Amino acid sequence: MNNLKWKRIFAIVASLLIGLGVASVVKDLTSMAAEDDVGAEVVRAREELAIEEANFKSLQMQNDQLEARKKLILDSLSEQGVLSEAIAEHGKFAMIAGLTDVKGRGVVITLDDKPDYDPLKDPIESVIHDSTINYVINILWAGGARAISFNDVRLTAISEINCVGPTILTYGVRQMPPYVISAIGPVDDLVEIVRSDSYLARLTQTEIGIRLNVSQEPEVVLPSFLKSRDYSLYMDLLETP
Query: Across all residues in the chain, what is the average pLDDT?
Result: 81
CB-based contacts of 104: which residues, under 8 Å, 6+ apart?
146, 147, 184, 185, 219, 220
Predicted local confidence at residue 172, as pLDDT? 80
Q: Give CA–CA dist 139/121, Å, rounded.
A: 30
Distances (CA, A) of 192 to 179, 184, 223: 20, 14, 25
Measured N-to-C along each axis, helices 130-142 and 187-195 cross at an angle, to the nearest 10 degrees, of 140
Tens-place pLDDT, residues 48-72:
888 887 887 787 788 778 777 877 8
Q: Give CA–CA dist 119/22, Å, rounded.
A: 40
Predicted local confidence at residue 20, as pLDDT? 61
Q: What type of residue is 96?
A: I
Which is it for the CA torsion 238, 56, 222, 144, positive or negative?
Answer: positive
> In the predicted model, is pLDDT for residue 102 greater than 80?
yes
Q: How confident is the model at residue 44 (pLDDT cuts 50, 70, 90)?
A: confident
> In the predicted model, is pLDDT for residue 175 greater than 80?
yes
Q: Which 3 state secondary structure label does DSSP give 128?
A: coil
Distances (CA, A) of 90 to 50, 99, 100, 154, 232: 38, 10, 11, 19, 17
Q: Give CA–CA dist 142/10, Å, rounded.
A: 84
When mean pLDDT is compared over 15-19, 51-55, 198-202, 236-240, the highest value belongs to: 198-202
Q: Give CA–CA dist 7/190, Å, rounded.
A: 88
Q: How is domain 98-225 classified at the CATH fold level?
A: Alpha-Beta Plaits (3.30.70)
Please state the domain extents for the chain.
1-79, 98-225
